Amino acid sequence: MESLLTDRLAVLSHPKRLAVFRLLMRRCPDEIPAGEITEALDLRASTASVYLSALTQVDLILQRRCGTRLLYTVNLDAAREVIAELFLDCCRGRADLCPPRFSDLLGSIFPMTDKKINVLFVCTGNSARSIFAETILRDMGGDQFTAYSAGTDHRSELNPFAVHMLKSKGHDVSPLRSKNISEFQGPDAPKMDFVFTVCDHAANEECPTWPGHPVSGHWGVPDPVKTEGTDAEKCLAFHQAYGALHNRISAFTNLSFENLNQVSLQKHVDEISKQD
């Protein structure tokens, strides 16, 4: 067992292999195609293959073939074993040596207060999908939630198709504007309780750790902005993106937050991500 631990630590000691592992951790529980990993981390295909093979050999990640594609996902059991062996076996679980009891912190009931629950939706451009999500949550759960959205790109603007569709659904678009994620990472920014990425590109980016460790999730939706064709075909893509987010946010707002701990909430968030 000790040999396996040292093998795993040796694999993770390489910055690029660690970057692959961290990417798959951010996308958990999704299965990610090798090509997307290669593109996200700006690697050569042959180099990425070597890194993925090394991580697979020590069971830190899992591989599955789907047709002609190889899909990868993080092996959470192996990740837990690494943490357990480092902090439980090595120091025998002594409270004065071990880090804080993360399991106790994560197992606590979600902190319900008189304030609203802050939710941030992150996309690359903050022009359509994250704007949809912000608007839907604002109108669907305004009594319980405060909805925000932002993009990882520094320059963006609201997509006219998205704005038109929101108006057609009866939403007030006057409060909307395109925002950069930096607005929500300063010391004076509101503390987030939930952070959701709604596009794969934003989920693949390595952002600074959010203060307070909010529950996070990836609710990826195909980008309607990239749809080519007639205006009718483009409108259909925007309707589909809106519908998928509407269904997920509806399920999210119906959760019993006062009765769930953060581990349970994370499981619900992950399950909601699978909804169409």
Distance separating alpha carbons of residues 234 and 161, to the nearest angstrom: 8
Instruction: Point out the catalytic residue in the list 28, 90, 98, 123.
Output: 123
Instruction: Point out the catalytic residue in the list 66, 90, 91, 199.
Output: 199
Distance separating alpha carbons of residues 43 and 165, to the nearest angstrom: 38
Distance separating alpha carbons of residues 119 and 104, to the nearest angstrom: 23
Intra-chain end-to-end CA distance of the chain, in Å: 41
Q: Are 181 and 122 in contact (CB under 8 A)?
A: yes
Distance separating alpha carbons of residues 155 and 179, to the nearest angstrom: 9
HSE value, Cβ hemisphere, 13 Å, CA-based, for 159: 22
Q: Which residue has the tokens 């994250």?
A: 130
- Give the containing element (helix H, strand E) for 119: strand 117-123
Instruction: Point out the catalytic residue in the list 28, 66, 98, 207.
Output: 207
Q: Which residues contact 132 (CB under 8 A, 6 or more apart)?
A: 162, 166, 241, 242, 245
Q: Which residue has the tokens 């990836």?
A: 218
Is 123 an annotated catalytic residue?
Answer: yes
Is 207 an annotated catalytic residue?
Answer: yes
The angle, 0 to 180 degrees and rounded to 10, between the axes of the packed helices 45-57 and 15-27 is 80
Give the catalytic positions in this structure.
Answer: 123, 199, 207
